[in-house]
């Protein structure tokens, strides 16, 4: 679902801009680490791991980035426009070697879908373990609760 700027009030818009700035800052830190340490991994991936570590360790709270990340996901279609323009620009290449590209796209899509499914499954298992680990003792053992 796409969010339009007209439907946002000023405080929500400022919140989204701040959260997007925070996400861009984390990506920038990943970029700096990649260049300093000469890591052969994308700065975005390093930034994602930094964000994961910050969220799991409690350095960041989810509500600090939730609105900004929801906004980015809502406008995700815009990020695919350059791909379509590239297809139009290189039409002759697509017409001659299109089957190779189709095979690569299908294999890549299936790989991404399977790895995403496993990542979500792992994430839900991790979340349920963390929730079970952080439950107070009074919820686990109702007989220990005081009666007032």
70 CB-near residues (< 8 Å, 6+ apart): 3
| Tens-digit pLDDT profile for residues 115-143 | 999 999 998 998 888 888 877 655 555 55
Q: CA-CA distance, 20 to 72, in Å (whole number)? A: 8
Alpha helix ranges (H) inside 1-148: 10-37, 43-57, 66-74, 81-89, 91-133, 137-140
Helix (H, G, I), strand (E, B) or coil at 77: helix
| Tens-digit pLDDT profile for residues 72-121 | 877 777 777 777 777 778 778 778 887 887 888 899 999 999 999 999 99
The DSSP secondary-structure symbol of 38 reads: T
């Amino acid at each position: 679902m796409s969010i339009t700027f007209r439907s946002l009030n000023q405080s929500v818009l400022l919140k989204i801009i701040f959260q997007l700035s925070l996400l861009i800052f984390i990506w920038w830190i990943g970029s700096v680490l990649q260049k300093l340490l000469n890591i052969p991994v994308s700065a975005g991936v390093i930034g994602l791991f930094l964000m994961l570590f910050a969220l799991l360790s409690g350095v960041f709270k989810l509500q600090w980035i939730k609105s900004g990340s929801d906004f980015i996901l809502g406008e995700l279609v815009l990020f695919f426009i350059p791909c379509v323009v590239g297809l139009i620009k290189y039409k002759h290449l697509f017409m001659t070697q299109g089957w190779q590209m189709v095979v690569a796209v299908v294999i890549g899509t299936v790989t991404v879908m399977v790895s995403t499914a496993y990542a979500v499954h792992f994430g839900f298992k991790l979340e349920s373990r963390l929730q079970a680990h952080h439950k107070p003792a009074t919820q686990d053992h109702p007989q220990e609760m005081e009666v007032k």
